[in-house]
Amino acid sequence: MFYRVLADVLVVIHFAYVAVVVGGMAAILVGLWRKWRWVRNFWFRLIHLLMIGVVAVQAILGLRCPLTVWEYQLRVAGGGEGHPGTFVARLVHGMLFFELPPWVFTAGYILFGAAVLLTFVLAPPRWPERHSR
């Protein structure tokens, strides 16, 4: 039971990661259009770029997402077959995973990463200010 619950928690964390990457891009685009200052925050933009960068590099190298691997391992350790168990896990899992050829995901991750990088270049973040004493 413990492993299955842990696997469900991991699925929710995985969903949150995806939501930050996709939602962050939407927020950046809307924020640039609406002239929201916070979307030019250096640390927000850098973390956002690094998050999608990790995903894109994993895809290019042909590596499986560690969160997906750990979830599968936890489900098997919990006596399952590696498929999501609870209602919430099935719901979140269904939103995250689609049956498409792997190259589609790799291309999508690379294109999305390129779009994030493009916003980083065309609408650069503000560098952190140095406070002198």
Per residue in 67-95, pLDDT (tens digit) is 988 988 998 888 876 555 555 566 666 76
Measured in degrees and rounded to the nearest 5, phi and psi for residue 68 equal -65, -45
Supply the pLDDT for residue 84: 56
Which amino acid makes up residue 87?
A: F
Mean pLDDT of 38-60: 95
Q: Which residues of 80-106 are buried (b: 16+ CB within 10 A; e: fewer)?
A: eeeebbeeebeebbeebeeeeeeeeeb
pTM above 0.75, yes or no: yes
- Taking all residues of the chain, what is their mean pLDDT, rounded to a whole number? 87
Cα dihedral 24, 26, 30, 31, rounded to 10, equals 10
Q: Are 119 and 29 in contact (CB under 8 A)?
A: yes
